[in-house]
């Protein structure tokens, strides 16, 4: 079988798309907070980041993450000081593992000749550290951050930053993300889109549907190997 030609550029989201947030639950338990607060905390971080983006402003992921922790931990019977609890939980971000499909998927995409970069709403240095710990940073052409765009995804300027940095038009880039809001934002900005759905969950009907739905990066590599990537998209 002839392999499909490479897409112009695959742009990978980082938080939850590549990294697994579930181990943070242990950090919450360590400080005396319930494990189920992890999704609420992360949703609060995203809410505030999106709110700032909608207002034309921005803030560092680390700052919003700390503020959101103080919010969700307020009123909990913590084992110690609130600031110490916040520091302990945030320290776990640097130790998050990658999903099992990420390393083999990235390696297969690289070997097939695809250009692949990461684009995070967090800091590039922290994302690079995580990806290096997972043994995949060398499989990426670059690790980019919205901090250099001045606005969070899903604002158009964030995707424009990635495309411009890599020297491709928006139409030549394809976002790969597990978040429907990211898929929708990229689609509205003119990118191709791939939704990474590891749980079989329904996609929101009110958001722009993805061009391709996969169960992981390994599945994406297989799918790109079986079909033509017409117009630079999967």
- Residue 8: the pLDDT is 83
Judgement on whether residues 39 and 147 belong to the same structural domain of the protein: no
Same domain, 141 and 103: yes
Please give the Cα distance from 162 to 180 (Å, whole number). 19
Do 53 and 114 lie in one domain? The reply is: no
Given this model, what pLDDT does residue 63 score? 97
- Of 42, 60, 95, the last residue of a domain is 95
If asked whether residues 131 and 222 sit together in one domain, one would say yes
Residue 108 lies in a domain: yes
**Residue 213: count of CB within 10 angstroms of its CB:** 16
Residue 234's pLDDT is: 58
Q: Which of 91, 84, 75 is nearest to 40 (CA)?
A: 75
Residues 105 and 74 grouped into a single domain:
no
140 is a domain residue: yes
Three-state SS letters, 82-96: HHHHHHHHHHHHHHC
Read off the tokens for 219: 């599945």
Give the Cβ contact number of residue 212 at 10 Å.
18
Q: Is residue 211 in some structural domain?
A: yes
Q: In CATH, what number is assigned to the domain containing residue 136?
A: 3.40.50.1000
Low-confidence ranges of the chain (pLDDT < 50): 1-6, 227-232
Looking at the fold, whether 58 and 159 belong to one and the same domain comes out as: no
Could you tell me the residue range of the domain that residue 82 belongs to? 24-95
CATH number for the domain harbouring residue 87: 1.10.150.240
Specify whether the CB–CB gap between 155 and 185 falls below 8 A: yes
pLDDT of residue 107: 96
Residue 1 is assigned to a structural domain of this protein: no
Q: Which residues contact 8 (CB under 8 A, 6 or more apart)?
A: 115, 168, 172, 173, 174, 232
15 and 40 share a domain?
Answer: no
Q: Among residues 95, 120, 138, which one ends one of the domains?
A: 95
First to last CA, the chain: 17
Give the pair of three-digit tokens for residue 91. 């320290």
Q: What is the pTM of this model?
A: 0.92
Beta bridge partners, 10, equal: 116, 174
Total of domains in the chain: 2
Residue 32 covered by a domain: yes
Quote the Cα angle for 53-55-60, to 5°: 40
Angle subtended by helix axes 156-166 and 180-188, to nearest 10? 70
- CA R_g for the chain: 18
One domain, residues 137 and 88: no
In a domain, 218, yes or no: yes
221/173 same-domain check: yes
**E strand or H helix that includes residue 214:** strand 212-214
* 3 lies in some domain: no
Distance, in Å, from the CA atom of 193 to the CA atom of 124, rounded to the nearest integer, reads: 22
Does residue 210 sit within a domain?
yes
What pLDDT is attached to residue 226? 56
Final residue in a domain of this structure, among 40, 65, 95 = 95
* Cα 180–Cα 186–Cα 190 angle in degrees, nearest 5: 140
Phi, psi angle pair for 136, to nearest 5°: -125, 0
């Amino acid at each position: 079988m002839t392999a499909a030609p490479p897409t112009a550029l695959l742009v990978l989201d980082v938080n939850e798309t590549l990294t697994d947030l579930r181990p943070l639950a242990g950090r919450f338990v360590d400080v005396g907070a319930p494990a189920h607060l992890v999704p609420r905390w992360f949703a609060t971080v995203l809410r505030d980041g999106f709110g700032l983006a909608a207002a034309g402003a921005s803030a560092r992921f680390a700052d919003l993450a700390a503020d959101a922790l103080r919010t969700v931990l307020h009123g909990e019977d913590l084992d110690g000081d609130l600031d110490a609890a916040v520091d302990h939980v945030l320290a776990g971000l640097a130790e998050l593992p990658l999903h099992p499909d990420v390393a083999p998927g990235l390696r297969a995409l690289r070997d097939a000749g695809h250009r692949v970069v990461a684009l995070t709403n967090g800091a590039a240095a922290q994302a690079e550290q995580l990806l290096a710990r997972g043994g995949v940073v060398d499989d990426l052409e670059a690790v980019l951050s919205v901090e250099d765009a001045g606005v969070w995804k899903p604002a158009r300027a964030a995707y424009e930053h990635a495309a411009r940095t890599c020297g491709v038009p928006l139409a030549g880039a394809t976002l790969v993300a597990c978040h429907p809001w990211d898929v929708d934002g990229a689609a509205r900005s003119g990118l191709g889109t791939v939704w990474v759905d590891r749980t079989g969950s329904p996609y929101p009907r009110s958001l722009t549907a993805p061009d391709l739905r996969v169960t992981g990066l390994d599945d994406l590599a297989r799918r790109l190997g079986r079909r033509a990537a017409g117009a630079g998209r999967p």
